[in-house]
């Protein structure tokens, strides 16, 4: 089984191997446990044959294997990078998988839930299965279906898909069908790239953006057949499907490292632009917000009496911050909830509940399942996503896109900042619409929001001491992060970044909670990062955290304090002071998070870790 893999398919006049490997390189962030390719080539005579290679480990291992044992020239092919769930990441479990005749090859992203029954059926019928994967059953099912469909590979795949349960993107080739690649999707991504004299299939447009920016969204339960000059899309039942073609508005340079050693460094640096792009066109000349694109009518929004914001990981931290902003600016009760917990606790939802789902990738399965549950209960769902045409926005009632551009590093950075911008926009818009008590404050905050790209830029310019500090702490075993109010989710985010990149024990706490237990963790020289709230309108909060810093310092902690310029009250208690520009309290996460990203990235690099592809992780988590 494979959970969130990268898939590429190609038919045209170029070297399929080169196009596929290049595409896989761009998709390697999706999974890097193993990789493989399948090509359809001439067998030297009048016939054609299937050639495959696959290897455990990163793409480089596959490339090395192909260099040692070159594959035949081909202009039809496909490739896969895998992130394993069940079935260890071995050569044997790597994709592609083939049938008994060695003429059909299949690559797969997702989980086929009824594979045990299908496997038993195939074994009973005499098919030898040689891997631990669910994918292999598809190859053997296709073997017979292809015969029954008179050599029509798309029809064969439709027949097989009708028998499958679960989530899957499948791409298949057949040695008897040169010049044809067929794909299918259910609950898992697949996009088609339309070129001139060549066409592409991929999990993500990044794989083919160097060749074409024309893309087609493949809908749920659809099969696509690509040939060099033809694309045909059908539903699983064989009926013709409507085609939704679009132009990708970013180019290949946006998906390249652009001179940085890691995508993460580039993506941290891109944050001022990403924030600016996400604000672009959404604040009118009169200072009022324009979010008509969300496709929710003002009447619908006025009816809402409760909001639940749902997400996973870093996006969940944006959801926690959304709760503070929404309740303050709109006075609508708001909860933030982990997507993986949401539907299992039987949440109280109604037609007047607005559910906001936040997902950079738009493909996270936990979030998708939560959104489906909310819609089944009749609630309105608004998606905040960075990925045009992905499943979560498509299945939601409304969408507000962040414009971070492609985020390739597994650790989310610029996507997080733009998610914050999006939730602020939604909260302020609702506040404007419903005419809450804070009219003047809202106007002021909108102005301040417009100034955030510059402030983020300013923070980035002063990060050298943070990098030095990170390098000096590379030998530590544990780092704690404290915050209050919106500084608390920022602390959680700082800890998550350090865990996922530096593999260190890192915890984020609400500073006020410390005295209820975690303070026992404080020992001599333990590094503790404290996010100090702005003084603006939140004096009490500020003073409380200054006391918290004193408490931990008195117990030996090494205090690393993130505080606004001009905040002198913290100076006596800070072993290291990181300054951020003065910002209204609710907007402070936009600047306070940046040093924590830089800190985690530098510390992980100092420890020799691969920051773009941390161990055990994948960018897009399409399993529950």
Is residue 314 a contact residue for ligand AGP (CB under 6 A)? yes
Restricting to residues 481-520, which ones interact with ligand AGP according to CB under 6 A? 500
**Whole-number minimum distance, CB 280 to ligand AGP, in Å?**
21
The DSSP bridge pattern shows strands 214-217 and 199-202 to be unpaired
List the one residue out of 317, 293, 316 whose CA is nearest residue 403.
293
**Which of residues 416 and 573 has its CB atom nearest to ligand AGP in the complex?**
416
306 is an active site residue: no
**Which of residues 3 and 546 has its CB atom nearest to ligand AGP in the complex?**
3
**Which of residues 369 and 433 has its CB atom nearest to ligand AGP in the complex?**
369
**Whole-number minimum distance, CB 618 to ligand AGP, in Å?**
9
List the one residue out of 580, 420, 395, 583 whose CA is nearest residue 489.
420
Looking at 180, 218, 621, 623, which residue binds ligand AGP (CB under 6 A)? 621
Looking at 330, 361, 418, 548, which residue binds ligand AGP (CB under 6 A)? 361
> Would you list the DSSP string of 411-479?
S-SHHHHHHHHHHHHHHHHHHHHHT-TTHHHHHHHHHHHHTHHHHHHHHHHT-HHHHHHHHHTTT-SEE
Among the options 266, 414, 497, 619, which is catalytic?
619
Q: Which two tokens stand for residue 465?
A: 């001491």
Looking at 360, 388, 391, 613, which residue binds ligand AGP (CB under 6 A)? 360
Residue with tokens 């292999």: 136
List the one residue out of 209, 202, 208, 205 whose CA is nearest residue 185.
202
Site string for ligand AGP, 601-620 (x = CB under 6 A): -------------------x
Closest residue to ligand AGP, judged by C-beta, is 313
Helices 16-27/59-68 angle, 10° precision: 160
For the beta carbon of residue 118, count every other beta carbon within 10 angstroms.
Answer: 20
**Which of residues 109 and 412 has its CB atom nearest to ligand AGP in the complex?**
412
Looking at 87, 313, 489, 533, which residue binds ligand AGP (CB under 6 A)? 313
**Which of residues 2 and 330 has its CB atom nearest to ligand AGP in the complex?**
2
Restricting to residues 367-386, which ones interact with ligand AGP according to CB under 6 A? 367
- CB-side neighbour CA atoms (13 Å) of 470: 26
**Which of residues 93 and 396 has its CB atom nearest to ligand AGP in the complex?**
396
Looking at 312, 384, 428, 611, which residue binds ligand AGP (CB under 6 A)? 312
Is residue 548 a contact residue for ligand AGP (CB under 6 A)? no
**Which of residues 2 and 367 has its CB atom nearest to ligand AGP in the complex?**
367
478 is an active site residue: no
Q: Distances in Å between the alpha carbon of 547 and those of 512, 532, 541, 543, 557? A: 10, 11, 10, 6, 14
**Which of residues 218 and 411 has its CB atom nearest to ligand AGP in the complex?**
411
Q: Which residues contact 451 (CB under 8 A, 6 or more apart)?
A: none
What is residue 387's three-state secondary structure?
coil
Q: Which residues contact 80 (CB under 8 A, 6 or more apart)?
A: 2, 5, 6, 7, 8, 24, 35, 36, 37, 54, 94, 95, 96, 107, 108, 109
Looking at 411, 422, 449, 574, which residue binds ligand AGP (CB under 6 A)? 411
Is residue 359 a contact residue for ligand AGP (CB under 6 A)? yes
> How many binding residues for ligand AGP (CB under 6 A)?
15
Q: Which residues contact 344 (CB under 8 A, 6 or more apart)?
A: none
**Whole-number minimum distance, CB 620 to ligand AGP, in Å?**
6
Rounded to an integer, what distance in angstroms lies between the CA atom of residue 231 and that of residue 228?
8
Rounded to an integer, what distance in angstroms lies between the CA atom of residue 222 and that of residue 210?
26
Q: Which two tokens stand for residue 577?
A: 């002071």
Among the options 5, 161, 334, 601, which is catalytic?
5
Q: What is the dihedral sign for C-alpha 571, 576, 580, 583?
A: negative
Q: Which stretch binds ligand AGP (CB under 6 A): 13-21, 359-367, 369-377, 593-601?
A: 359-367
Is residue 364 a contact residue for ligand AGP (CB under 6 A)? yes
Q: Which residues contact 558 (CB under 8 A, 6 or more apart)?
A: 525, 526, 527, 528, 575, 576
What is residue 486's three-state secondary structure?
coil
**Whole-number minimum distance, CB 511 to ligand AGP, in Å?**
23
Looking at 81, 188, 271, 412, which residue binds ligand AGP (CB under 6 A)? 412
**Which of residues 379 and 620 has its CB atom nearest to ligand AGP in the complex?**
620
Is residue 189 a contact residue for ligand AGP (CB under 6 A)? no
Q: Which stretch binds ligand AGP (CB under 6 A): 109-117, 135-143, 203-211, 308-316?
A: 308-316
Looking at 315, 340, 391, 432, which residue binds ligand AGP (CB under 6 A)? 315
Q: Which stretch binds ligand AGP (CB under 6 A): 39-47, 184-192, 309-317, 394-402?
A: 309-317
Rounded to an integer, what distance in angstroms lies between the CA atom of residue 424 and that of residue 297?
19
**Whole-number minimum distance, CB 358 to ligand AGP, in Å?**
6
Q: Distances in Å between the alpha carbon of 601 and those of 26, 359, 466, 514, 576? A: 21, 22, 11, 26, 18
Contact footprint for ligand AGP (CB under 6 A):
312-315, 359-361, 364, 367, 410-412, 500, 620-621
Which residues does the annotation mark as catalytic? Answer: 5, 619
């Amino acid at each position: 089984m494979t959970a969130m893999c990268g898939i590429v398919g190609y038919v045209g006049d170029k070297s399929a191997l080169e196009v596929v490997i290049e595409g896989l390189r761009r998709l390697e962030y999706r999974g890097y446990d193993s990789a493989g390719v399948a090509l359809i080539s001439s067998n030297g005579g009048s016939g054609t044959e299937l050639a495959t290679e696959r290897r455990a480990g990163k793409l480089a291992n596959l490339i090395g294997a192909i260099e040692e044992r070159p594959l035949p020239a081909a202009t039809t092919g496909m490739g896969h990078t895998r992130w394993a769930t069940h079935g260890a990441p071995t050569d044997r479990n790597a994709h592609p998988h083939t049938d008994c005749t060695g003429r059909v090859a299949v690559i797969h992203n997702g989980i086929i839930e009824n594979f045990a029954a299908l496997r038993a059926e195939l074994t009973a019928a005499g098919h030898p299965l040689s891997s631990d994967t669910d994918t292999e059953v598809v190859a053997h099912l296709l073997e017979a279906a292809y015969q029954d469909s008179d050599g029509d590979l798309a029809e064969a795949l439709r027949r097989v898909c009708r028998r499958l349960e679960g989530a899957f993107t499948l791409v298949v080739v057949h040695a008897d069908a040169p010049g044809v690649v067929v794909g299918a999707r259910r609950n898992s991504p697949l996009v088609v790239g339309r070129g001139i004299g060549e066409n592409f299939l991929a999990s993500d447009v990044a794989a083919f953006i160097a060749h074409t920016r024309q893309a087609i969204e493949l809908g749920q339960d659809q099969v696509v057949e690509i040939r060099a000059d033809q694309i045909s899309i059908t539903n699983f039942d064989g009926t013709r499907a409507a085609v939704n073609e679009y132009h990708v508005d970013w180019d290949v340079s946006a998906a390249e490292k652009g001179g940085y050693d890691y995508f993460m460094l580039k993506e941290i640096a891109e944050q001022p632009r990403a924030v600016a792009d996400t604000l672009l066109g959404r604040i009118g000349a009169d200072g009022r917000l324009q979010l008509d694109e969300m496709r929710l009518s003002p009447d619908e929004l006025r009816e809402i009496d409760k909001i639940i914001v749902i997400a996973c990981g870093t996006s969940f931290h944006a959801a926690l911050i959304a709760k503070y902003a929404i309740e303050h600016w709109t006075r609508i009760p708001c909860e933030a909830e982990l997507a993986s917990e949401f539907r299992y606790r039987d949440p109280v939802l109604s037609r007047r509940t607005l559910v906001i789902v936040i997902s950079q990738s738009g493909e996270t399965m936990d979030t998708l399942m939560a959104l489906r549950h909310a819609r089944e209960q009749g609630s309105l769902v608004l998606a905040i996503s960075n990925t045009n045409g992905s499943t979560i926005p498509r299945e939601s009632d409304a969408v507000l896109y962040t414009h971070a551009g492609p985020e390739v590093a597994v650790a989310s950075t610029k996507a997080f900042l733009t998610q914050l911008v999006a939730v602020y926009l939604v909260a302020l818009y609702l506040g404007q619409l419903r005419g809450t008590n804070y009219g003047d404050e809202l106007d002021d905050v909108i102005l301040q929001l417009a100034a955030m790209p510059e402030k983020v830029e300013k923070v980035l310019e002063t990060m050298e001491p943070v990098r030095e500090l990170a390098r000096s702490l590379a030998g530590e075993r544990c780092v704690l992060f404290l915050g209050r109010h919106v500084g608390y989710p920022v602390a959680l985010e700082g800890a998550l970044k350090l865990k996922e990149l530096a593999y260190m024990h890192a915890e984020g706490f609400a500073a006020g909670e410390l005295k209820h237990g975690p303070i026992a963790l404080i020992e001599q020289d333990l590094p503790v990062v404290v996010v100090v709230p702005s003084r603006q309108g939140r004096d009490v909060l500020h003073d409380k955290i200054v006391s918290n810093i004193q408490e931990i310092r008195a117990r030996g902690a090494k205090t690393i304090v993130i505080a606004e310029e001009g905040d002198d009250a913290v100076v006596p208690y800070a072993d290291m002071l990181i300054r951020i520009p003065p910002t209204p309290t609710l907007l402070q996460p936009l600047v306070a998070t940046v040093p924590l990203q830089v800190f985690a990235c530098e510390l992980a690099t100092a420890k020799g870790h691969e920051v773009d592809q941390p161990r055990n992780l994948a960018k897009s988590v399409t399993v529950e």
